Amino acid sequence: MGLTPMMRQYFEIKDRYKDCIVFFRLGDFYEMFFDDAKTASRELELVLTGRDCGLEERAPMCGIPFHASANYIQRLVYKGYKVAICEQVEDVNASKGIVKRDVIKVITPGTYVENNGVENRNTYLSTIYEEDGNIAIATTDISTGEFKVTSFKSLKTTLLDEITKINPKEIVIDVNLNEKLENELSSITGAFLTKKDLREFLCTREELIVQFSEVEVSNLSIAAEKATRILLKYVYETQKMSLLNINYLEQYDIINFMTIDGNSRRNLELTENIREKSKKGSLLWVMDKTSTSMGARVLRKWIDEPLISREEILKRLTGVEELFNDFSFNEDLRSLLKDIYDIERIVGKVANGNVNGKDMISLKNSLSKLPAIKSLLSSSTSNLLKEYYENLDVLEDIKTILEKSIKEDPSLSIKEGDIIKDGYSNEVDELRVAKSHGKEWIASLENSEREITGIKSLKVGYNKVFGYYIEIRKANYSSIPEGRYIRKQTLANAERYITSELKEMEDKILGAEEKLIKLEYEIFLEIRKAVEKEIPRLKASARIVGELDCISTLSKIAVENDYVKPEINESGIIEIEEGRHPVVEKVIGRGEFVSNDTLLNKNDNRLLLITGPNMAGKSTYMRQVALITLMAQMGSFVPAKSANISVCDKIFTRIGASDDLAGGKSTFMVEMWEVSNILKNATPKSLVLLDEVGRGTSTYDGLSIAWSVIEHISNTESLKCNTLFATHYHELTKLEGEIEGVKNYSVAVSEVDDNIIFLRKIVEGGADQSYGVEVAKLAGIPKSVIDRAKEILADLEGTDKGVIQGIEKGEVSKVVECIEEISIEKEDSTNDKEKNNKKSNEISEVKEMQMDFTFIEKEDFVNKISNIDILNLNPMEAMNKLYQIVSEAKSLK
């Protein structure tokens, strides 16, 4: 027994798409076979059946109706599977034997863009390639056509920082990439990793030049060129065509943006909060007031990539300032912007042939706002807005084409007609007249036939099988004039008839309809082609709209939240008057938030040692300084009365995300790991935040480590960076005056009748006690426990005076060495086994610690469910939510 021809065909195809679930089109269904069927039936809860395939055993099979495939594809892709869509690629009637089938598209996590519009953010697909000591990362979003590449000296930390920033959904990596790096990539980004042999898997240089241009690719480094070719190859392989909206290759240099490592990004809660990983409570949440999807993506990018050129920062700030000072200008602008659809994504649909009439109308309506925007910008004075004015192509010609050709309310499908506007094509108009005349004639037929025959109940009707007919009830048969009608169909109580005129008219109507559908489709394709030719112009205008929206939004939130334009310097001075934390003030209310000043000056205020009891507001204060700096460098006004911000190259934070985790060695290891990373990578232009360093270990160890870190940062020429150091070891306050640049600050508290009140005010000078017991009392610890704690504290204070004196300078430097040893740095291309073993032990310790996260995950999960706003979900969203909940619950089991 041999395989059936269809199964042979299936195997030939499956063989080429081993890593995909193949959706094999059979009639109105996509069928899956063998292992694919088993996987899909498990993941999608489908019934597993079997099909004769020519072998003794039936082939396991399951299927889904093709019209409902979108939802199933989404579920599989979200679970990290790839789906290969295999269609019949020739006309069934024309084929001899078995109809030809082939894969027309491969949908993968990084190319699944259907849901993009909902989230207003990019879906990135990246690749990483290393050659000649350089690493290149190429990235694209196929829905917007963005394609960018960067290359830098091979350093793992830089790679991980950059890839965390990009946050791709899928990364194409080399099959031979070392396993440790592979694990790290997957754990920090959560991306799906696709493995290819990158020495072979790349498109040709010619294809590269056709996709972009000779000029754009001429100055790429070797690694960058290869990465670009690899990524293009993957796009071709999955999309099965070269996408026309990918036509501009953006080369960027990571050193043009502030470096923020993955940890610091998470700690500062830039685009999502740490606990729930949702936008709420993040900086993006405060700023996310854009009017367009394009603006929303630009805003996210600007938050992710603060600038480091003073000139560029000032350019943005002056643009924001102009709109800040002219409220009505900005409001007029925003009311125009809010009616602009996602031009980039519509253009993406034009490029891949998915665009329909409704999209074209959205495009036309969007373009029709551009002239008014341009004229608003015509009187602008800032360089940035003037530049937008000069460069904004209002695309009048494209708008006119669409306006003339596409109906205002076209049908959804481009294959159903009813899409081309009256008056655009004579031929379409004539066919429409023919069709409507015919319909009128038929409409009048009922009356005229009733009159002629005298049969009042005579009806004219239509069905798909017999076409138009005249229906007469049994009781009236005798009244039918002899020879008038031809019998067509007999029903229980009636007969259906036709006449030759009726059939002629029917042919005319149906003929006209068929021709119309075909003709309208052809005309639509012509229009699509015309728009397609203008993709680069459309993309350029869309980019300006996105940026302009972002500038306008920064002005809007600055007005609403009472932000101020920062001054920007390059001399290391950060001076903030009455600064506020942009997110906390939103959460607790502006009136409740206590503002604070900051001075960091590279001189006597270089390392601010902030003491104060737990819950006093130390970490809020430190984050506030970092966020104000970051906002200034993205070109935003800042929450303060005044601010003068020095451009910083990197922001580092060691803030206790892990503080609230179960303690122990692993937590301490992570903490030291982070500190070590900071000490190695910070520069004199960096801003460093260290919160409770040394907390994860015993008091003596912790104190000595904290001390030595302060000493190291303050005395090492290549560091000496602006630092905020919060600690509850008030013994460290003695370092002011001993170590150059260290300055004591504390968060003021007041004591009233044995109770403490947090004043949230940062004042000069160190806190003289830790108030730990008082804070415990505030938190509701039983009185008996508090009283006993006070007794113990009194005892300890009596015996423990000499902590600081006990640490000799020599011992301190030993601790520094210890911290540096824990380094994860320096690429492990070395064969040093011992070193590798040690590192893998560290990794497994970290992993062990991560396993302890489950209880937090469960809590987060419960929170997430209770926060679902059921009344604001449509049925589809509700299904998706339910599905997510079930999958998440399974993963937490």
Provide the annotated binding site for ATP.
Answer: 612-619
Q: Specify the residue, 432 or 618, whose C-beta has the smaller distance to ligand ADP.
A: 618
Binds ligand ADP by CB under 6 A, chosen from 177, 193, 254, 594: 594
List binders of ligand ADP among 289-348 (CB under 6 A): none
Cβ proximity to ligand ADP, 267 vs 619, nearer residue: 619
Q: Write down the least CB distance from residue 623 to ligand ADP, Å.
A: 8
Taking the complex as a whole, how short is the minimal distance between the CB of residue 641 and ligand ADP, in angstroms? 14
Distances (CA, A) of 861 to 465, 856, 888: 55, 8, 8
Could you tell me the smallest distance in angstroms from the CB atom of residue 327 to ligand ADP? 29
Task: Say how many C-beta atoms besides its own lie within 10 A of residue 783's C-beta.
Answer: 8
Residue 616 touching ligand ADP (CB under 6 A): yes
Site string for ligand ADP, 734-763 (x = CB under 6 A): --------------------------x---
Dist CA 216 CA 208 (whole Å): 10
Q: Between residues 620 and 681, which has the closer beta carbon with respect to ligand ADP?
A: 620
The DSSP output letter for 464 is T
Site for ligand ADP in 120-179 (CB under 6 A): none
Helix (H) or strand (E) holding 297: helix 293-304
> What distance in Å separates the CA atoms of residue 430 and residue 550, rounded to the nearest whole number?
48
Nearer to ligand ADP, 617 or 741 (CB): 617
Q: Which window, 345-353, 370-378, 561-569, 586-594, contacts ligand ADP (CB under 6 A)?
A: 586-594
Task: Please report how the helices 809-821 and 665-681 are oriented relative to each other, as an axis angle in degrees rounded to 10.
Answer: 90
Contacts of 489 (CB under 8 A, 6+ apart): 466, 469, 495, 496
Binding of residue 727 to ligand ADP (CB under 6 A): no
- How would you write 750-812 as a 3-class SS string? EEECCEEEEEEEEEECCCCCCCHHHHHHHCCCCHHHHHHHHHHHHHHHHHCCCCCCCCCHHHH
By CB under 6 A, tell whether 619 contacts ligand ADP. yes
How far apart are CB 781 and ligand ADP at their closest, in Å? 16
- Could you tell me which residues are annotated as the binding site? 612-619
Q: Does 583 bind ligand ADP (CB under 6 A)?
A: no
Burial 448-470 (b: 16+ CB within 10 A, else e): ebbeebebeebebeeeeeebbbb
Tokens representing 407 are 């109906």
Q: Sheet of 722-727: strands edge to edge?
A: 259-260, 650-654, 687-691, 722-727, 607-611, 742-752, 755-764
Q: How far is the CB of 80 from ligand ADP (least distance, A)?
A: 36
Least distance from C-beta 704 to ligand ADP, angstroms?
22
How far apart (Å, rounded) are the C-alpha atoms in residues 8 and 53? 9
Nearer to ligand ADP, 505 or 706 (CB): 706
User: Which one among 618, 695, 712, 730 touches ligand ADP, defined by CB under 6 A?
Assistant: 618
Q: Is 689 in the site for ligand ADP (CB under 6 A)?
A: no
Residue carrying the six token digits 């940890």:
263
- Residue ranges of alpha helices (H) inside 454-499 are none
3-state secondary structure of 154: coil
Among 274, 573, 615, 776, binds ligand ADP (CB under 6 A): 615
The residue from 588, 757, 785, 786 that contacts ligand ADP (CB under 6 A) is 588
716 binds ligand ADP (CB under 6 A): no
Please report which helix (H) or strand (E) contains residue 561, including its range: helix 535-561
**Position among 584, 608, 645, 661 found at the interface with ligand ADP (CB under 6 A):** 584
* Strand arrangement, sheet containing 250-251: 192-196, 170-174, 125-131, 134-141, 146-153, 250-251
Find the shortest distance in angstroms from Cβ 616 to ligand ADP. 4
What is the distance of C-alpha 403 from the center of its chain?
Answer: 33
Contact 356, 410 (CB under 8 A): yes
Residue 761: CB minimum distance to ligand ADP, A: 8
Rounded distance, CA 579 to CA 570, Å?
20
Q: Which is nearer to ligand ADP, 616 or 627 (CB)?
A: 616
Binding span for ligand ADP by CB under 6 A among 363-371, 543-551, 590-598, 851-859: 590-598
Task: In angstroms, give the least distance from the CB of 692 to ligand ADP.
Answer: 8
Among 259, 271, 611, 620, binds ligand ADP (CB under 6 A): 620
Measured from the CB atom, the residue of 410 and 612 that comes closer to ligand ADP is 612
DSSP secondary structure of 609-675:
EEE--TTSSHHHHHHHHHHHHHHHHHT--BSSSEEEEE--SEEEEE--TGGGS--SHHHHHHHHHHH
Residue closer to ligand ADP by CB (options 41, 619) is 619
The token pair that represents 533 in the structure block = 């030719």
User: Of 617, 702, 741, 766, which lies in the binding site for ligand ADP, with binding defined by CB under 6 A?
Assistant: 617
Considering the complex, what minimum distance in angstroms separates the CB of residue 587 from ligand ADP? 7
Distance separating alpha carbons of residues 281 and 154, to the nearest angstrom: 35
Q: What long-range pairs does 4-12 form, CB within 8 A, spacing at least 24?
A: 4/52, 4/53, 4/54, 5/97, 5/98, 6/98, 7/33, 7/53, 7/54, 7/59, 9/98, 9/101
Q: Which of 129, 152, 248, 593 binds ligand ADP (CB under 6 A)?
A: 593
The number of residues that bind ligand ADP (CB under 6 A) is 14
**Residue closer to ligand ADP (CB basis): 99 or 594:** 594
**Rg, the chain, Cα only:** 34
Instruction: For ligand ADP, give the closer residue by CB, 357 or 617.
Output: 617
CB 615 to ligand ADP: min, Å? 5
Residue type, 334: R
Q: Which residue is nearest to ligand ADP (CB)?
A: 617
CB of 205 to ligand ADP, least distance (A): 55
**Quick check: 614 binds ligand ADP (CB under 6 A)?**
yes
3-state secondary structure of 86: strand
The residue among 618 and 712 lying less far from ligand ADP, judged by its C-beta, is 618
Q: Residues interacting with ligand ADP, by CB under 6 A?
A: 584, 588, 592-594, 612, 614-620, 760
